[in-house]
Amino acid sequence: MTAKPKKKLALSTQIFIALILAIGVGVALTGNPDIAKNYIKPFGTIFLNLIKWIVCPLVFFSIMAGVISMKDIKKVGIIGGTTVLFYLCTTAFAVAIGLLFANLLKGIFPVLSTANLSYDASASSVNFIDTLVGIFPSNFVKPFVDANMLQIIVMSLIIGFALIMISPRVNKEFHFVNTCNDMCMKAMEMILRFSPIGVFCLLCPVVAENGPAVLGSLAMVLLVAYLCYFVHAIVVYSLAVKAMGGLSPAKFFKGMLPAMMMAFSSASSVGTLPLNKECCEKLGADKEVTSFVLPLGATINMDGTAIYQGVCAVFIASCFGITLSFSQMLTIVLTATLASIGTAGVPGAGMVMLAMVLQSVGLPVEGIALVAGIDRIFDMGRTVVNITGDAACALVVSKLQQNKAARRPLAAGGANNSGK
Ligand code: ASP
């Protein structure tokens, strides 16, 4: 009798098992978190380092390859415009959901003492103009050294456009860009095979170090934030992928599971980018769209972060005995939407930008100290929402492009017919 070939577990199943194991082992090690910190966390760090290492060249070459494959600057502009519009609208909606639920449920929030709070606001003084200026690089290499994703995107767009403009002469260069892109993709694929191990080693120390007790008095604030994450993802993304992406929400969330679990464990949109790209392409998104829309989203689209900022603003205000007015809430919607553009897709970045949101409505920035202790737990959920929003946008933009392309031959055919 011939032995049956062994069936390999799907990557999503492997990651899911790793996630459950990480929580179980993490809980078992809560009394002894040093074991997790010293012997498990370093392997998670190695995995995340490898992803961070590949993500800059990957974004650089994949956006460039995407741009030159479109062969048309106008088309890039249309995709870019649609993407930014989608991102801004969903983020504004996300803050509004955060504010609405936090206001409705603020009765269950604890009122923590605000005496003796201290938070170094100077470390987080970010303003919009600085963010705008910071998008444009002044050096070719520094964006890679700093892993400054927005500057890398700007560079790859400019070089991609330049290549299109000199296109009749540059077939060799096109080939070079595509080869570099394929090489980065292959390297990324190799690293991603280790994602179950990465997920386990990243999450286990977080559970072991924080333990269930840390949630303590903030459990209700966390609950409201997670409720909003859930509602936003289920309502907004389901509607978007169904109505504009032609995809069933169940299929969408199922296909996104590996990337969502990775985002939960790593709390980094940028770190989840390669896996997100893979999931979106499996769900039918075009490569040329994912190459552009997802890196941009990992950098400027932060719906989960915006929700968190809305909920925390209401919570912090209530601890200081302040009730936010309607115009203050509108200001929060605006600043949190803009803040999300400047929030880097790395752990903890959203908490830094919370300072800008609080300052915009005159709330004391020291209030951040109230939520800082468990930021990681907020962060895991908000990163899941952040990357799911990017994916929903990639699928919608892809579908719109596919529809447009399908109409074009018909229109051309129609014109021919009418010309007969
Ligand atoms: N960790 C989040 C992300 O990578 C950003 C944040 O801190 O809100 O998307």
**Contacts of the segment 243-252: beta carbons below 8 A, 24+ positions apart:** 244/396, 244/399, 244/400, 245/392, 245/395, 245/396, 245/398, 245/399, 246/399, 247/283, 247/284, 247/395, 247/399, 251/283, 252/283, 252/391, 252/392, 252/395
Residue of 260, 269, 312 to mutate, ligand 1, most atoms within 8 A of C-beta: 269
Residue of 206, 268, 270 to mutate, ligand 1, most atoms within 8 A of C-beta: 268
For ligand 1, whether the C-beta of 350 sits within 6 Å is yes
pLDDT 10s per residue in the chain (420 long)? Answer: 455 666 677 777 888 898 889 888 988 998 888 998 899 999 988 988 888 888 889 889 988 888 887 777 888 888 889 999 999 999 999 999 999 999 999 888 887 777 766 655 555 555 667 777 888 999 999 999 988 877 888 899 899 888 888 876 667 777 888 899 889 888 888 888 888 898 899 889 888 887 766 566 788 999 999 999 999 999 999 999 999 999 999 999 999 999 999 999 888 898 898 899 999 999 999 988 898 899 889 888 999 999 999 999 999 999 988 899 999 999 999 988 888 877 778 888 888 888 888 888 888 888 888 888 788 889 999 999 999 999 999 999 999 988 888 876 655 544 444 333
Residue of 309, 371, 374, 386 to mutate, ligand 1, most atoms within 8 A of C-beta: 386
Q: In this structure, what DSSP letter does residue 374 have?
A: T
For ligand 1, whether the C-beta of 379 sits within 6 Å is yes
Q: What is the pTM of this model?
A: 0.82
For ligand 1, whether the C-beta of 348 sits within 6 Å is yes
For ligand 1, whether the C-beta of 382 sits within 6 Å is yes
Going from the C-alpha of 22 to that of each of 41, 84, 222, 268, the distances in angstroms are: 11, 36, 21, 18
